[in-house]
Amino acid sequence: MSSATDALRPGLVFATLAGAAVVKYSLAAFVRWRHSQKFKLVGQVTSLTMFPVKSCSGYSVQSAECTRLGLRQSEVTDRHFLVIKPNGEFLHQRVQPRMALIKVSPCGDQLEINAPGMPPIKVSKDQLIDKSKVKPCRVWAANLEGLDCGDEVAEWFSTFLNMSGLRLLYSAPGLTKKDMTEVTYKPWGNPSVTGDMAAYSDFGGYLIVSENSVHDLNRRLSSPVTFRNFRPNIVVRTDAAFQEDTWLEIKVGDTVRMRMLDYCTRCTMTTVDPELGVKSSDGEPLKTLKSFRCFAPYGTFPCFGVNATVDVTGPVRIGDPVYAIQRPVFTELQDA
């Protein structure tokens, strides 16, 4: 009897483990299904914009791939090129509004860069890492790396922006990326989790704005602005303004899942006219945003749009439906 039991024991163990695995898989599938039932249709994608060079002008696309590091289309990933000063700090429109006039567009296996009064110049979209060309750089408090794109394009940026010593860097695969959990310049807290990464984006790989929120703002302005003042990657048409404030997670199309990280706090960069490359003389639209979009605990920084990260990658295109899970109790934004 003992020998017969011993002979059966491996089969019993296997059956027990297999049964446990089935139960575990079924439970996980049920949890995922229950979670998916929380998504409700909230809008539709109406615009997708790529910004290959941080703080320079972007360009619209009809479709793209949502990767963990940002929108990717035609072998170009959003905000993977960076202009730096001689000390390694990144250059941006807050101090150089003329960067808004620098237009970047894909051209075969290269990016073409144009600006008024300058000859067009091209750089490779993707470059092999040469350790001798890797330079340290900083985006706010984050210490990152970039592959130097060479003297010719560096001189091009220095000439147009009238600043000596500028360099253009590329966040090549394998170089240091920004770990969102290590971002320390958000005194109100950081909701990121392990795995939330970005190249040169300020916070999260995506910025999402509602069309209706822009319309609501424009009703308060004497001179209307467009969503280009806010540089979102994804624009969504919703039923009402500021619905994006209430989103916890969103599903775009059939595949993409995004988690909202934080409300996007706004600064003087919103005052840069994207067509003229100059700041508005009246401080708008930032002045009006401060009058009705400042909330505790964000202090004097008005909130407009949301930063997001991707949990499930996949394709996204204009016209895709957007579904959201709303926050159970919406308490984050309270009047200051």
pLDDT above 70: percentage of residues in the chain: 87
Which one is predicted more confidently, 6 or 287?
A: 287
Which tens digit of pLDDT belongs to each residue from 251-302? 999 999 999 999 999 999 999 999 999 999 999 999 999 999 999 889 899 9
Which amino acid is residue 239, in one-letter code? Answer: D
* 208: region left, alpha or beta (phi > 0 left; psi from -120 to 50 alpha): beta
Query: Could you tell me which of 311, 328, 180, 191 has the C-alpha nearest to residue 252?
Result: 311
Which one is predicted more confidently, 17 or 80?
A: 80
Residues paired with residue 314 on neighbouring β-strands, in sequence order = 66
Q: Is 176 helix (H, G, I), strand (E, B) or coil?
A: coil
Q: Strands across the sheet with 63-67, in order?
A: 76-77, 70-73, 63-67, 314-317
Q: Residue 128 pLDDT more than 90? A: no
Which tens digit of pLDDT belongs to each residue from 236-261? 999 999 999 999 999 999 999 999 99
Token readout for 70 is 């940002």
Q: What is the spatial distance between Cα 267 and Cα 205, in angstroms, rounded to a whole number?
A: 19
**Cβ distance 112 to 195 under 8 Å?**
no
Using alpha carbons only, what angle is made at residue 288 by residues 43 and 292, rounded to the nearest 5 degrees?
Answer: 65
Q: What is the spatial distance between Cα 171 and Cα 177, in angstroms, rounded to a whole number?
A: 8
Q: How many CB atoms lie within 10 A of CB 241?
A: 16
Using alpha carbons only, what angle is made at residue 43 by residues 294 and 311, rounded to the nearest 5 degrees?
Answer: 80
**Cβ distance 142 to 183 under 8 Å?**
yes
* 174: region left, alpha or beta (phi > 0 left; psi from -120 to 50 alpha): left
- Band (pLDDT 50/70/90 cuts) for residue 88 is very high
Overall pTM > 0.75: yes
CATH 2.40.33.20 fits 40-335, yes or no: yes
Taking the CA atoms of the chain, what radius of gyration do you get in angstroms? Answer: 23
Q: Tell me, what's the pLDDT at 145? A: 97
Q: Which helix (H) or strand (E) holds 58?
A: none
Q: Residue 86 pLDDT more than 90? A: yes
DSSP code at position 36: H
Which tens digit of pLDDT belongs to each residue from 11-56? 665 666 666 655 555 544 444 545 667 999 999 999 999 999 999 9
Token readout for 121 is 């110049």
Q: Tell me, what's the pLDDT at 37? A: 72
Task: Find the mean pLDDT for residues 66-92.
Answer: 97
Residues paired with residue 66 on neighbouring β-strands, in sequence order = 71, 314
Using alpha carbons only, what angle is made at residue 298 by residues 295 and 301, rounded to the nearest 5 degrees?
Answer: 90
In total, the chain counts a number of residues equal to 336
Query: Could you tell me which of 67, 70, 40 has the C-alpha nearest to residue 247?
Result: 40
Sketch the domain layout of the chain as residue ranges. 40-335
Which tens digit of pLDDT belongs to each residue from 155-199? 999 999 999 999 999 999 999 999 999 887 777 778 899 999 999
* Share in percent of the chain as helix, strand, coil (round to 5): 25, 35, 40
Task: Find the mean pLDDT for residues 131-139.
Answer: 96
Q: What is the spatial distance between Cα 307 and Cα 264, in angstroms, rounded to a whole number?
A: 6
Cβ neighbors of 244 (< 8 A, separation 6 or more) are 208, 209, 210, 213, 236, 238, 260, 305, 306
